[in-house]
Structure 1
Amino acid sequence: MRLPIIMFAVALLLVACNGQSTQKENSMKKNEPVTEENNSDLVEQEDEQIPETNVEEEKEDKKVEAPEVEVVAPEYKMNAVFALEPVKDANPKVVLLTIDDAPDKYALEMAKTLKELHAPAIFFVNGHFINSPEKEAILKKIYDLGFEIGNHTFSHANLTTLSPEEQKEEILSVNDKVEEITGERPKFFRAPFGANTDVSKQIATEENMLVMNWTYGYDWEKDYMSKDAIADIMVNTELLGNGANLLMHDREWTNGGLKQIVKGLRDKGFETLDPKLIETPQ
């Protein structure tokens, strides 16, 4: 009987010693100086206790939401003779105002006149007219007034006389420049003299631009180079009809007669069409 009792006592003694040893080690660790080795252990322990932060959520909170762009459903489409037709039940008695060769000398004044009259229009620009900081600023003002900016090539060359590469440069350089100035690429393309080519049409398609000629225009003809003459013919021509696409230019006499033209068209019951309502390639 004595042998089992002695063994049991020895076992109890060993357990007690181990417990004291563990407590002593823990106490020493608390009091020992922080070294590079044991500091890393402490950092690891602290990292385990700190909940992870969702970095992506923080980024989302800081991100500024871009303003929503209102998508306007098209209400008109251009037909084979470049007039505008209602897609569904929109008002058929409309005319589209367009100003070519901008911004030469009078485009900004014309834009201000149209703005006062609440008359939308497309300003078709030539690249050589926006090759200085002053002209860039004028185009930006026209755009900021709410007008659509169209592409009328860089140098107003007849595209049928140019190589495919030259045509590409004439068109794309203007799109790039307009985008640089306004932040938006043109949605409309008008070839000088209305002389389109297979190449220019293909480029326009690739750039999501609507190729647009016109229904009538007169201000380059000698007989109409006065404000009264141009105002009279633009309103009283037999070519005026529903959806007419009116061609005008950045010229002194057209600028002078512009208010009469808009008022005369409205007196005949025509509404000036907002280009943003025209269906364009997507």
Structure 2
Amino acid sequence: MRLSSIIMSVAILLAACSGQTAQKEESIKKDEPVAEEKKPDLVEQEDVQSPETNVEEEKGEEPIDEVAAPEYKMNAVFALEPIKDANPKVVLLTIDDAPDKYALEMAKTLNELQAPAIFFVNGHFINSPEKEAILKEIYNLGFEIGNHTFSHANLTSLSPEEQKEEILSVNDKVEEITGERPKFFRAPFGANTDVSKQIAAEEKMLVMNWTYGYDWEKDYMSQDAIADIMVNTELLVNGANLLMHDREWTNAGLEQIVNGLRDKGYETLDPKLIETPQ
């Protein structure tokens, strides 16, 4: 009797355990589907971006350089007028016959004064590695390089083919040295022709003469004389297009000229703000 009671108790206990196990397994099947083994590195992949992703995001955050919209246009007498509400009291500084002897020194003076300008070059002055380096330095200082023909010949005396060579050879050479073709063209003596105007249009250059200039006249071939007339001439008006040359006396008086113009309230116009053919 005692033995049978023990056997019965064991059987009941086994049955109970078996039922609990089955119930637990059934519960798991119904409510707790078995998941795949956890992979810790998946969490890390979600939170940590790859180097390539970071590079792309950094690239996307870099500012995009935008070309400034033109603020001035040239009128029929080669002066500069505001397109909208830009400051009308400006003057444009231009230096012809560069780089002869003083162009680089003039560029450095203007750079120190933070006075923009156009340097109109003659091709026959870019005739050596040294002169090419000077032109590149002027360009690297931030100045516009204009086309003043190869030999400074009067275009009205040349054939169409000769005019084309005079102009395009300079554009090609300037582009070779600086990486940029000129945007401005000034004919020697202001003597434009139908041919030169057509070539300038095809090359997207603005044909530009001047408002006044004096440094080729004998009376103004000294530092003080040229500085005085450039600032105090009655021809000084809003938007005036000032013609100067690569000359010893103009180089010497250049700082006086810029400061004198500013004392009169004139701003030196950045050529990059001038509308050019597109």
- TM-score (normalizing by structure 1): 0.76
Partner of 2:87: 91
Equivalent runs, 1:108-257 vs 2, <5 Å: 108-257=104-253
Q: In the TM superposition, what is the alpha-carbon distance from 1:68 to its structure 2 partner?
A: 5.3
Q: Which sections of structure 2, spanning at least 5 residues, go unmatched?
A: 1-55
Which residue of the partner structure matches residue 51 of structure 1?
A: none
Residues 39-75 of structure 1 show CA distances to partners (whole Å, capped at 9, x for unaligned) of: xxxxxxxxxxxxxxxxxxxxxx9xx99x955311000
Shift of 1:86: 0.1
2: CA distance between counterparts of 1:199 and 1:212? Answer: 15
Among candidates 263, 266, 269, match of residue 267 of structure 1: 263
1:71 aligns with 2:67: yes
Letter in structure 2 aligned against 1:162: L
Q: Counterpart of 1:219 in structure 2: which amino acid?
A: D
Q: 1:115 and 1:243 mapped to 2: Cα distance?
A: 21
The number of residue pairs the alignment matches comes to: 221
Identity %: 91
Amino acid of the structure 2 residue aligned with 1:260: Q
Give the whole-Å Cα distance in 1 for the aligned partners of 2:66 and 2:207. 24
**Secondary structure in 1 matching 2:177:** helix
Supply the distance in 2 between the matched residues of 1:158 and 1:257 (Cα, whole angstroms): 28
Distance 1:131 1:147 in 2: 20
Cα distance in 1 for residues equivalent to 2:181 and 2:96: 17
Which residue identity is paired with 1:205?
A
Q: Which amino acid aligns with 1:81?
A: V
Query: Any idea what SS the aligned residue of 1:216 has?
Result: coil
Displaced runs of 4 or more, over 6 A:
none
Q: 2:133 and 2:65 mapped to 1: Cα distance?
A: 24
Shift of 1:221: 0.1
Once the two structures are superposed, what CA deviation does each residue of 1:177-204 show, in whole Å capped at 9, x if it has no partner?
A: 0000000000000000000000000000
Residue matched to 1:37: none
Secondary structure at the counterpart of residue 217 of structure 1:
coil
Question: Does the residue aligned with 2:116 lie in a helix, a strand or coil?
Answer: coil
Amino acid at match of 2:239: G
Measure the CA separation in 1 of the matches of 2:64 and 2:107: 26
**Which of 87, 93, 96 is 1:100 aligned to?**
96
Length-normalised TM-score, structure 2: 0.77
Q: What do you get for the CA RMSD once the two structures are aligned?
A: 1.8
- In the alignment, is residue 278 of structure 1 matched against residue 266 of structure 2? no
Structure 1 residues 202 and 256: alpha-carbon distance in aligned structure 2, compared to 1, 3 A threshold: same
**2-side partners of 1:68 and 1:187: how far apart?**
23
Q: Distance in 2 between matches of 1:233 and 1:111?
A: 21
